[in-house]
Amino acid sequence: AAPCDIYASGNTPCIAAHSTTRALYSAYTGALYQVKRGSDGTTTDISPLSAGGVANAAVQDKFCSSTTCLITIIYDQSGRGNHLKQAPPGGFKGPEANGYDNLASAVGAPVTLDGKKAYGVFMSPGTGYSNNAPSGTATGDEAEGMYAVLDGTHYNGACCFDYGNAEISSTDTGNGHMEAIYYGDNTIWGSGAGSGPWLMADLENGLFSGSSPANNPGDPSLSYRFVNAVLKGGPNKWALRAGNAASGSLSTYYNGARPSPSGYNPMSKEGAIILGIGGDNSNGAQGTFYEGVMTSGYPTDATENSVQANIVAAKYATASLTSGTALTVGSSISLRATTSGYTTHYIAHTGATINTQVVSSSSTTDLKKQASWTVRTGLANSACFSFESVDTPGSFIRHADFALVLAANDDTKALHEDATFCPQTGISGQGSSIRSWSYPTRYFRHFENTLYIASNGGVHEFDSATSFNDDVSWVISNGFA
């Protein structure tokens, strides 16, 4: 049995079932998600390898080879049509045209399930999915349950990395108008033990970790690479539970009455579905989603325990984030542009600005050093890399407002994440493309000889799709210095 078969036998059926990694019903053979590629704007659906099985990632890899791909739809497997699509503007606007949120890269969160490759949904700040015309979700004070399998190491403190029930208007319509899983280390409303990240319930105008609207020591900081986050709510009761999605069982962090501030009992749920954003389209949060469902009715702990066992049996594990030219930590490299007319240009820096400059064996020692980078283990993720300046040890290439700059490592989480990059086979077919770990839709790109992390089409000038594949493909060689 798969998760939604288990919920059905507990008389709390799934009314929404979302996953880019696997089927959530043992008989499901339909589409899991849709990707859209940058080369020609066409889309394709990714389905399971077999009924109830893991996603056929090879179809995505082939469709997206030598271009970029975005996840455009996460299909609802329940048959109710509760698909998740690019979230529209609400109380807050997203970064894309007309205030829409960003879509996620299709390659930011590779994993294996029982050894088979699949892709999760890696959501950078600005990314969001929703469905504001749902069918069968809980409204008012109706009972519901939900779980989500997330990357417990990918989070931030911005509002709000959520999955679950929210306002159909994408605006804040008041306390109790949401009931969604939250994951991160936001402390504006509530918090748990330690410094986070925590599983909390986003009930609108509050992230709740237990009965107190503030700190609840029973809600622990979590550090599982794969976390199963569970939330359920019914008339004057709700519970928060979680566990390691790769082994063991669930723990209950809270099980009790609704919070006392007005508006949360009874609830006024509206039934829209959100992923990666707050109820009002607050979109500063980040996180990674692999699978999740919402149910009708209040699942028993026993049902949720069986679902946890099923998730563990699916055997989630990490997969390589890189491909192409292998890099050796500690070595010095230089990166040459491949765009016609720029093939003598290398990535260098002038002060804090990262740019391209013409460099050769007869260049000055200073310029050679400015164009040489020591490969370091990724500051935010050891499966990727960071690039330290040869002439300014202690300073790294990072992005800031999507421009690449040279910055001293201040050992903050923000610097570490902004300075972590995952090289992959060059998108043009030549060399390597250097993908931002934290914004995997974005790659090292030269634009008017200045370096950015650019997406293949987008709102910035430097996101121009013209010449994108060549501008993001670099030949990596031994460093000049």
Q: Which residues lie near ligand AHR (CB under 6 A)?
A: 159-160, 172, 202, 204-207, 278-280, 282, 399-402, 414, 418, 438
3-state SS assignment for residue 81: coil
Between 63 and 468, CB nearer to ligand AHR: 468
C-beta separation of 17 from 31 below 8 A? no
Output the smallest distance, CB 456 to ligand AHR, in A. Answer: 17
Between 102 and 303, CB nearer to ligand AHR: 102
From the candidates 101, 204, 219, 417, give the one annotated as an active-site residue. Answer: 204
Other beta carbons within 10 Å of 361 = 6
3-state SS assignment for residue 334: strand
Q: Which two tokens stand for residue 102?
A: 């960003």
Which residue number is nearest to ligand AHR in terms of Cβ?
Answer: 278
Q: Could you tell me which residues are beta bridge partners of residue 184?
A: 198
280 a catalytic residue: yes
Output the smallest distance, CB 399 to ligand AHR, in A. Answer: 4
Q: Give the CB-side neighbour count of residue 393, counting CA atoms within 13 A.
A: 3
Between 58 and 459, CB nearer to ligand AHR: 459
Output the smallest distance, CB 53 to ligand AHR, in A. Answer: 34
Which residues are CB-contacts of 61 (< 8 A; sequence separation ≥ 6)? none
Output the smallest distance, CB 166 to ligand AHR, in A. Answer: 7
Where residue 170 falls (left for φ over 0; alpha for ψ -120 to 50; beta otherwise) is left
Output the smallest distance, CB 332 to ligand AHR, in A. Answer: 25
Pick the closest to residue 170 from 282, 281, 285, 283 (CA basis): 281
Q: Are β-strands 129-131 and 144-151 bridged in parallel, bridged antiparallel, or unpaired? A: unpaired
204 a catalytic residue: yes
Output the smallest distance, CB 174 to ligand AHR, in A. Answer: 10
Between 76 and 172, CB nearer to ligand AHR: 172
Query: Phi and psi (nearest 5°) for 104?
Result: -85, 150
- Burial string for 453-473 (b: 16+ CB within 10 Å, else e) reads bbbbebeeebbbeeebbbbbb
In Å, what is the CA distance from 92 to each residue of 98, 166, 169, 402? 12, 14, 11, 21
From the candidates 151, 202, 280, 418, give the one annotated as an active-site residue. Answer: 280
C-beta separation of 205 from 134 below 8 A? no
Between 176 and 423, CB nearer to ligand AHR: 176
Between 16 and 207, CB nearer to ligand AHR: 207
C-beta separation of 166 from 212 below 8 A? no
C-beta separation of 148 from 161 below 8 A? no
Output the smallest distance, CB 43 to ligand AHR, in A. Answer: 27
Which residues are CB-contacts of 103 (< 8 A; sequence separation ≥ 6)? 36, 70, 71, 72, 86, 96, 127, 441
Q: Are β-strands 43-46 and 14-19 bridged in parallel, bridged antiparallel, or unpaired? A: unpaired
Count Cβ atoms within 10 A of the Cβ of residue 287 and give its class: 0-12 exposed, 13-18 middle, 19 or more buried: buried
Output the smallest distance, CB 214 to ligand AHR, in A. Answer: 14
Between 204 and 304, CB nearer to ligand AHR: 204
Q: Could you tell me which residues are beta bridge partners of residue 478?
A: 333
Output the smallest distance, CB 173 to ligand AHR, in A. Answer: 9
Between 134 and 278, CB nearer to ligand AHR: 278
The residue count of the chain comes to: 481
Between 264 and 480, CB nearer to ligand AHR: 264
C-beta separation of 354 from 452 below 8 A? no
Beta strands in 93-140 (DSSP E): 104-113, 116-123, 129-131
Count Cβ atoms within 10 A of the Cβ of residue 323 and give its class: 0-12 exposed, 13-18 middle, 19 or more buried: middle
Provide the annotated active-site residues: 204, 280
